[in-house]
Amino acid sequence: MMRFLRRSLSGLFLLAVTVGLLVWAGVALNTAIQVRLSAESRPGMAQERVFAVNVARVETGVVAPILTTFGEVLSRRTLELRATTAGAIVELADNFVEGGVVTAGDVLLRIDPTNAEAALAVARADLHEAEARLRETERSLEITRDDLESVQAQAALREQALERQRSLQARGVATDAAVEEAALAAASSAQAVLSRRQAVANAQSARDQADTGLLRAQIALAAAERDLADTQIVAGFSGTLAGVRAVEGAIVTPNEQIGSLIDPDALEVSFRVSAAQYARLVDEAGRLVGGDVTVSLDVSGVNIMARGRISRESASVTAGQTGRLLFARLDQAGGFRPGDFVSVMIEEPPLADVARLPASAVDAGGGVLMVSADNRLSAEQVTILRRQDNDVLVSVPDHLVGRDIVAERTPLLGAGILVRPLGRATAPDGIVDDSALLELTPERRAALVAYVESSDAMPADLKARMLAELGKDMVSASMIARLEQRIGG
């Protein structure tokens, strides 16, 4: 009984202690909550936000702006091959095909010369006949002149006989009948001289007609020779054939075009510029300045380039067109062909005291953000002169020269904001270097090489250049991007 009572009292004691501890914990918790709710809130110290920005150094100098446009490659020497006579084509040169290369003087084709040869033989026979007629008239003229001289000698003798009879009559020796007879004989001789002179005139007229006939025969012979020569077409200069549409045995008509001969070494590019751009390419007198141009053609990921110089401009503006049409001669334009659509970069006259800045550094109104000595931004104003791809050429105030400006503006940046410059976005000379080289994996390199080798659109020399580039350890990223774009990579 005592043991039961002792255990009951111990249980009651432990229960009382537990309840007391729970009550104490509740009171302590309530006190803490009240203290927390009644305590004054103290705001923390706010820190200024610092933005990291790329900066560009403003450096001025002499810069030649580049005007970019598009144009078409043309040939300054293009000859249309046309048949000058009708007939069947009996002979074609082996290289008279599309893209065939010919040399000046090469015979390209022959048209059946049978009719032309027959006409030439007739013309030669007519010439021989005219020459014989001329010789005959010359002999007749010579004989007539000899006859005239003989009659003139007889007439002189008749005049002498008449004078002698008159002298004898004056001395009373000759009779009047003898004098009259001598006078009649002299008159008859004078009539004979007149008749022979008329014969000489007729002979001279016949010879002149024979001369005219000979000249006509010579003209006819020359025309027949030209007709025979026209039965063959000869290359007027060295070049490449295009638009060939003639086969052996085909019948051609006069003035029918059978192809074109193009000189691939006499190329030029025609391009159009706006009136405002044209104003930058003329001098104070309004004459076109012969600026240098660079022509670029994208061929399967590789740019073919050639240099040239502006040579002339179109005399008028075509209906429905604007601006000015200019022409530039190309130097050593290997790989280009007439009809290529190319990019044309024109060097404008140089501008002095201008700065080249990233286009992202200047807003539409010409505003820039300058970084001060304490790394705070201030708003400044510049004058935009030209836009060059991702850059702009600007005229800047003197106090901005040599200072840093924000290279990439964002809506979060403005005057008075604290920044942390990260580095310049341009090279010291102000030219952005966007070249990049990549290292290819063996699988990626093999895929690109296989595509280049299997391409039929690339010339052989271009394939060799591209394969040489792909064989290097580091390959141009732009070329890789173009090739993979074409193969769907």
Angle at 450 between CA 445 and CA 451, to 5 degrees: 100
Token pair, residue 463, equals: 């394939």
Give percent above pLDDT 90 in the chain. Answer: 14
Q: How confident is the model at residue 477 (pLDDT cuts 50, 70, 90)?
A: confident
- C-alpha 64: how far from its chain's center? 23
**Domain of residue 134, residue span:** 115-229
Together in a domain, 368 and 219: no
Q: Would residue 129 count as lying in a domain?
A: yes
The reply to whether 365 falls in a domain is yes
> In terms of domains, do 247 and 271 share one?
no
Is the model more confident about 43 or about 280? Answer: 280
2 lies in some domain:
no
**47 compared with 65, residue with greater pLDDT:** 65
The answer, yes or no, to whether residue 255 has pLDDT greater than 80, is yes
Structural domains in the chain (count):
5
In a domain, 186, yes or no: yes
Q: Are residues 448 and 404 in the same domain?
A: no
- Asked, for residue 79, whether it belongs to a domain, the answer is no
Choosing from 347, 364, 397, the residue where a domain stops is 347
- The CATH number covering residue 141 comes to 1.10.287.620
Q: With cut-offs at 50, 70 and 90, classify the pLDDT of residue 471.
A: confident
List pLDDT tens digits, range 286-321: 788 878 899 988 776 677 888 999 988 888 887 778
Q: Are residues 241 and 108 in the same domain?
A: yes
For residue 488, what pLDDT is reported? 62
- Check whether residue 257 and residue 279 sit in a common domain: no
- Residue 301 has a pLDDT of 64
Q: What is the dihedral of CA 104, 110, 115, 118, to 10 degrees?
A: 60
Same domain for 137 and 223: yes
Alpha-carbon dihedral angle through residues 217, 219, 224, 226, given to the nearest 10 degrees = 160
- Nearest alpha-carbon partner for 144 in 189, 190, 203: 203
Whether residues 370 and 403 fall in one domain = yes
Residue 9 domain-assigned (yes or no): no
Q: Same structural domain for residues 148 and 225?
A: yes
**What CATH number has the domain bearing residue 315?**
2.40.30
Q: Is 8 a domain residue?
A: no
The CB-based long-range contact list for 246-251 (8 Å cut-off, 24+ gap) reads: 246/89, 246/92, 246/96, 246/109, 247/89, 247/92, 248/89, 248/90, 248/91, 248/92, 249/88, 249/89, 249/90, 250/88, 250/89, 251/86, 251/87, 251/88, 251/89
Q: Please check whether residues 320 and 302 belong to one and the same domain.
A: yes
Rounded Cα–Cα distance for residues 129 and 421 (Å): 104
Half-sphere exposure of 333 (CA within 13 A, CB side): 28
In three state form, how does the secondary structure of 127-143 look?
A: HHHHHHHHHHHHHHHHH
327-353 pLDDT, tens digit each: 999 987 878 888 889 999 998 888 888
pLDDT digits (tens, 9 = 90+) for 123-164: 999 999 999 998 989 888 888 888 888 888 888 888 887 788
Q: Does the pLDDT at position 324 exceed 50?
A: yes
147 and 204 share one domain: yes
Q: Which of 372, 399, 424 is the last residue of a domain?
A: 424
pTM of full prediction above 0.75: no
% of residues, the chain, pLDDT over 70: 91
Domain membership flag for residue 22: no
User: What confidence tier does 433 reach under pLDDT thresholds 50, 70, 90?
Assistant: very low
CA 422 to chain centre: 46
**How many angstroms separate the CA atoms of 336 and 468, rounded?**
21
SS3 451: helix
For residues 145 and 250, state if they share a domain: no
Q: Are residues 304 and 215 in the same domain?
A: no
- Collapsing DSSP to helix, strand or coil, 108 comes out as strand
